[in-house]
């Protein structure tokens, strides 16, 4: 069997179209290296992202995997992968629809009623509603099925009490899609229901969490007698676990992450060559680290290609996707270490290296911990017994 990494004629034509669109339409502020800092790298970039989103939306590419009848682009797996790869290579944002396009939109398409599709899908595509995900709880992270946030049926409403944690962007969200326990006596994977909750409803309290880096990307969310209409339930009562595991055509190859870490390396190399507080002269041995990290970035890219090649053949990546996630997240931490070594003692002050180092701590926790990924690889990939 001959294996090739090159595009076929159709894929090459599509790649050229995507690249041409980026070259001609992407704002300069997004394609810049981003090392300069200053006003343009913050306020100017935010304006550029808004402009870019409008252009991508006009192209019909905001929801590449959605069927066209729901406003998507109905792209094949290969087309989505190529678009994601080209966006990542150019440094322009690719996921412009957030959780709305990636997660809840496809779930509504698969399991929602016609009324729910009518109410939510167009708003998601237009970016009129910001969504967050209510899954993790203080006692239910990797073991999500142990969640305890309760929803009790009361006429035409559910009444929710409990807490979610590590909720990304909850302080900005208009709506949350969440898993709640509606039958406490059922086995833990059963008795769970999938609800859509208005974040402005009485009884919802959001408390931002300050991370080691000082950023506040995650939140605690508390629910005290929050009433949610039954019509906001997706799928059947007590069958929410199976609704929540809907994947459809979600991005699992991590190609954006694989290219992102390589571009991090390129940025660090530019800094090192320019002199200043980050320099090869401070630690000559760091050059060997650069070589190792560069090789790892190429390995991450190959792991991504493996996943997408399975998807193209109609297969569902399982432990292969876990390998991508595990390798890329641990590599991002090693790159953060590399940056600290390059800066030397200057890395002890609050600068780019130290901020990146602190932010990288969560990479092996978010999206499934390293321990969980290793368990999946061991049992489903290597056939080892569960410990």
Task: Give the whole-angstrom CA distance, residue 30 versus residue 46.
Answer: 9
Give residue 194's Cα distance to chain centre: 20
Neighbours of 265 (CB within 10 A): 18
- Residue in 79, 85, 137, 251 annotated catalytic: 251
DSSP secondary structure string for all residues of 69-127: GGT-----HHHHHHHHHHHHHHT-----SHHIIIIIHHHHHHH--HHHHHHHHHHHHHT
Task: Give the whole-angstrom CA distance, residue 46 versus residue 293.
Answer: 31
Give residue 100's Cα distance to chain centre: 12
Task: Give the whole-angstrom CA distance, residue 189 versus residue 275.
Answer: 55
Contact 370, 346 (CB under 8 A): no
Q: How far is the CA of 33 from the CAs of 38, 48, 251, 264, 338, in angstroms?
A: 13, 14, 25, 10, 19
- Closest-CA residue to 98 (of 125, 60, 119, 66): 125
Q: What are phi and psi of 231, to 5 degrees?
A: -65, -15
- Closest-CA residue to 172 (of 209, 136, 199): 199
Contact 186, 155 (CB under 8 A): no
Contact 178, 135 (CB under 8 A): yes
Indicate left, alpha or beta for 308 from its phi (over 0: left) and psi (-120 to 50: alpha): alpha
- Closest-CA residue to 124 (of 29, 196, 203, 22): 196
Task: Verify whether residue 251 is a known catalytic residue.
Answer: yes
- Which active-site residues does the annotation give? 251
């Amino acid at each position: 069997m001959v294996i090739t990494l090159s595009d076929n004629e159709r894929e090459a034509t599509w790649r050229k179209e995507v690249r041409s669109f980026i070259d001609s339409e992407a704002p300069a502020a997004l394609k810049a290296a981003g090392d300069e800092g200053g006003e343009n790298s913050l306020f100017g970039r935010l304006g550029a992202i808004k402009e870019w989103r409008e252009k991508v939306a006009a192209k019909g590419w905001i929801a590449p995997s959605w069927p066209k009848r729901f406003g998507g682009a109905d792209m094949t797996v290969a087309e989505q992968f190529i678009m994601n790869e080209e966006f990542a290579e150019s440094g322009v944002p690719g996921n412009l629809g957030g959780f709305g396009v990636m997660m809840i939109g496809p779930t509504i398409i698969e399991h929602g009623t016609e009324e729910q599709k009518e109410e939510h899908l167009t708003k998601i595509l237009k970016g009129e509603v910001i969504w967050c995900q209510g899954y993790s709880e203080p006692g239910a992270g990797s073991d999500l099925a142990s969640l305890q946030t309760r929803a009790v049926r009361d006429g035409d409403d559910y009444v929710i009490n409990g807490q979610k944690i590590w909720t990304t962007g909850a302080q900005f969200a208009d709506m949350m899609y969440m898993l709640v326990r509606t039958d406490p006596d059922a086995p833990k994977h059963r008795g769970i229901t999938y609800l859509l909750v208005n974040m402005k409803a009485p009884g919802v309290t959001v408390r931002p969490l300050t991370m080691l880096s000082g950023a506040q990307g995650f939140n605690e969310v508390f629910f005290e007698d929050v009433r949610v209409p039954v019509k906001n339930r997706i799928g059947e009562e007590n069958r929410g676990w199976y609704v929540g595991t809907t994947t459809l055509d979600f991005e699992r190859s991590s190609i954006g992450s694989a290219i992102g870490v390589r571009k991090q390396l390129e940025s660090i190399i530019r800094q090192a060559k320019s002199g200043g507080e980050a320099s090869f002269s401070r630690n000559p041995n760091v050059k060997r680290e650069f070589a190792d990290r560069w090789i790892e970035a190429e390995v991450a890219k190959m792991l991504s290609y493996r996943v997408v090649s399975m998807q193209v053949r109609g297969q569902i990546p399982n432990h292969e996707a876990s390998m991508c996630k595990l390798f890329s997240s641990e590599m991002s931490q090693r790159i953060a270490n590399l940056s600290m070594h390059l800066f030397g003692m200057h890395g002890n002050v609050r600068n780019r290296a130290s901020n990146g180092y602190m932010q990288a701590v969560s990479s092996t926790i978010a999206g499934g911990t390293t321990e969980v990924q290793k368990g999946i690889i061991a049992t489903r990939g290597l056939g080892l017994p569960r410990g």
